[in-house]
Amino acid sequence: MPTFFIDAFIFLAKLFCAMEYFPVFLDLKQRRCLLVGGGDVATRKGRLLAKAGAVLRVVAPEVSAELRDLVAQQQGELRECEYQSSDLDHCVLVVAATDDEALNAQVSADAKARNLPVNVVDSPALCTYITPAIIDRSPLVIAVSSGGDAPVLARLIRAKLETLIPANYGKLAQLASRWRDRVKARFSDTEGRRRFWEKILQGPAAELTLNGQTDAAETLMAEEIQCDDVTITRGEVYLVGGGPGDPELLTLRALRLMQQADVVLYDRLVSDAVMELVRRDAERIYVGKRRSEHSMEQDNINQLLVDLALQGKRVLRLKGGDPFIFGRGGEEIELLAQHQVPFQVVPGITAASGCAAYAGIPLTHRDYAQSVRFVTGHLKSDNANLQWPELAMPGQTLVFYMGLVGLRDICETLVSHGRAATTPVALVEKGTTPQQRVLVADLASIADLVDAQEVHAPTLVIVGEVVLLHRQLHWFNPSP
């Protein structure tokens, strides 16, 4: 054999044998585990062992109150004395968590002599196993390890996974467990079972479970298992709020649904950064609107949602801000409900909250405003038929959505109904994004200031004394 191939074989062998630790999940329920140490580190280890159902035997001269409680809850043993090798008797697992290096080394040596798995905190060389960073969605458990070389990195990866994996994935695993035998009986071949579970775990039954609707999920499972066709045939609509622009303001559920949708209907106010997080191969349909310029009429959007769902597709209706605050979300799901199309609504951070926070303007404040009102700059008929006498009352904050075009009329009308012309006003342009700009004046002068600038939607207008706090509290300073 040529030397080149020998060298390549040795390289590949090293590459595939480079795993420092073999990942194993141990069943510790009702099994005795020795924990040497009684301080904060030992207490953290005790929590993990107790969560796994272990019976704790804790040995240390001094033991924290929390660790004492854990021992009592698990009906374990507490030995407030110095460690002895006999403490290992009848144990299946050992943890040394003291600040005495010599003692830790002794515990490790004694455990290895008995072929007991042992972990010494922060001393990989003394360990026969290490504790990974854990994402617990029991019975689904995910472990992340760096082999002890970079524990902080492992924890950071764990944090990222925590945001991507919903808490109710444990319930989804339980659903699969309850139906496992029936599915096995229904589909005799492995391929059929695989296709069925792919359909279930990506379809409405999974969504019902993740939303806590376990009874409805069970009913749907009973229907699905009788179907001969194991392809996904039942569609669903996700009405999701995309927030005011910053993708980091998305909810965890919004991100999950964005990643699994087959087709996306999105608005003009959904930022490019948010759209980047949508599933790459999803079909994208732009249905945005500008004033007097609609790429698709609202009735057509409503019907398209129904049609796509009835085709068996998972449809993401992605809106800027929150779909139930001036987002026409209610109109869209009314038609879905009439056609019995499954849907779910995921709220988003509305522009008022997001833009005000990024501009450093609290919408309520004990010294300035005891209430806040969200107001549309134009109604369905495009006439701002508002209760102006109420809006002109002092002691409240007004937030106008879609108020750029009618800004001068809004200000003049408020003043004519009694609101002081010196009332502070802020216009937030492209709030929460790197292009954010805040213009501050008062009711008498804000329209002239905006006319002198090149201002583009989306904008938000905030009226009230709380605007005075912008100069002091602004914190978000995007680069020009």
**Which residue ranges are tagged as binding site for S-adenosyl-L-methionine?**
244, 320-322, 325, 350-351, 402, 431
3-state secondary structure of 263: strand
Specify whether 110 is catalytic.
no
Q: Which string of b and e fits 435-449 if b means at least 16 CB within 10 Å? A: ebbbbbbbbeebbeb
- Cα–Cα distance for residue pair 227/220, rounded to 1 Å: 11
Using only C-alpha atoms, what is the Rg of the chain?
A: 30
Q: Is 432 left (phi over 0), alpha (psi -120 to 50) or beta?
A: left
- Cα–Cα distance for residue pair 270/319, rounded to 1 Å: 6
Specify whether 272 is catalytic.
no
Binding-site positions read: 40-41, 61-62, 244, 320-322, 325, 350-351, 402, 431
Binding-site positions for NAD(+) read: 40-41, 61-62
Q: Which of 87, 110, 262, 267 is catalytic?
A: 267
* Strand-strand pairing, 424-429 and 459-463: antiparallel
3-state secondary structure of 45: helix
361 burial via Cβ count (<10 Å: 0-12, 13-18, 19+)? buried
Only one residue has tokens 């996974």, namely 161
Neighbour count for residue 151 (Cβ, 10 Å): 17
CA-wise closest residue to 108 among 206, 422, 97, 296: 97
How far is residue 160 CA from its own chain's centroid? 10
Handedness of CA 320, 284, 213, 340 (dihedral sign): positive
Q: Which string of b and e fits 259-282 if b means at least 16 CB within 10 Å? A: eebbbbbbbebbbebbeeebbeeb
Catalytic residues: 267, 289
